[in-house]
Amino acid sequence: MPAPAGTTTSRGCAVGDKGGTPPALRADARRNRAQIIDAARALFLRVGVDVPMEEIAKAAGVGVGTLYRRFPDRAELIKAVSLDNFARLVELAERVEGAEPDPAQALTTLLRSALELRLGITMTALSDRAYRAIQSSPEIDELRDRVMAVAQRLLGRAQAAGTIRADIEIGDTMLALVLVSRLVPPAGDDLAEMVFQRLFALVVDGLRAIPGTPMPGRPVTYEDINELRRSGGLGGFGKFAPADPDESQRAR
C-alpha cells in the first residue's frame, strides 16, 4: 500500500500529491533533512523533546540556519520525527504480518518496535503548540490507522489461536504502550535498557492466555482510544501535560 500523498520519510523520499507533483527537495536538501530527523530522533530519545535546537543542528552536521529552513520551529521537527517513526512502523508491521506465521510473535515484534522507536514522544511531554501540530496531521493519522489495522488483525488471529487472552482489545495494548513509553528513562545507558526490557516483558506476559485475574470492565477499543485523544483524556495527550510558561521561548 503506498504511503499517503505528501509523506516524506527521513530518507527524503517525498510522495507527490494527487496532481503528480515530483519531489520538491534537491538531493542535498533531502540529505540534510534526513540527517536532521535522525539526529533529532536520537536526541529526543536520550535527552527529551526539549533538547536545544542548536544541539540538534550540531549532531546533524548542519548549520542552525539550515535546520530552521527545513523546520521553522520545534513543533514542525517533532511532527517530522513522529511521521518518520510511524512510516517506519507501517513498513515493519506490514512486513512482519506477511513473514511471521505466529500471530502472537508478530504482535510482540510490532509492540517492541513501537516502544524502541518511542512513539510515545508524540504523546508525552509535548508543548501545547507541538501537540496541536501533531494532532492536526492527517498523514500521521493515516499511518497510525494502518499500524493499528495490522495490530488488530494480529491480535484477533492470536486470540483465535488461544495464545493471547480473549478479554482484551487493541486499545488495551495501546494504553499499555503509552504507560511504558512514559515510564521508560531516556535511552543511552544499560540501566535504561534493562528497565525497558523488564517493563516490556511485563506487558507481554499480561497479554498471554494463561490463568490469572479477569480484566475488569470491558475491552478498550481503538475507537475508545480515539475518543480519549479527542477529549484530551488520554494520559500523555495535552490535557494531562503540565502548563509550560516558557513554551514561547523554547518553541524555537
Instruction: Give the residue among 158, 172, 159 at the shortest CA–CA distance from 217.
Output: 172
CATH architecture of 85-242: Orthogonal Bundle (1.10)
Global confidence as pTM: 0.71
- Determine contact, residues 151/206, Cβ cutoff 8 Å: no
Q: Are 79 and 86 in contact (CB under 8 A)?
A: no
Place of cell 490463568: 211
Q: Across residues 41-50, what is the average pLDDT?
A: 82
DSSP string, 145-186: HHHHHHHHHHHHHHHHHTSB-TT--HHHHHHHHHHHHHHSPP
pLDDT band for position 77 (cuts 50, 70, 90): very high
Asked if 119 and 45 count as a contact pair (C-beta separation under 8 A), the reply is: no
Q: How far apart are CA 78 and CA 40, in angstroms?
A: 8
Phi, psi (rounded to 5 degrees) for 218: -120, 160
Task: State CA 135 to chain mean position distance.
Answer: 13
Determine the distance from the C-alpha atom of residue 97 to the mean position of all C-alpha atoms in its chain, rounded to a whole number.
19
Residue 48 zone, left/alpha/beta (φ > 0; ψ -120 to 50; rest): left
CA distances in angstroms from 44 to 38, 81, 130, 135, 229, listed in the order given: 10, 9, 14, 19, 22
Average pLDDT over residues 13-30: 56
Amino acid 242: pLDDT: 34
The count of C-alpha atoms lying within 13 angstroms of the C-alpha of 174, restricted to the half-sphere facing its C-beta, is: 24
Q: State the number of CA atoms in the 13 A half-sphere of 154 facing the CB.
A: 28
Going by pLDDT thresholds of 50, 70 and 90, the confidence category of residue 118 is low
Lowest average pLDDT, out of 101-105, 184-188, 232-236, goes to 232-236
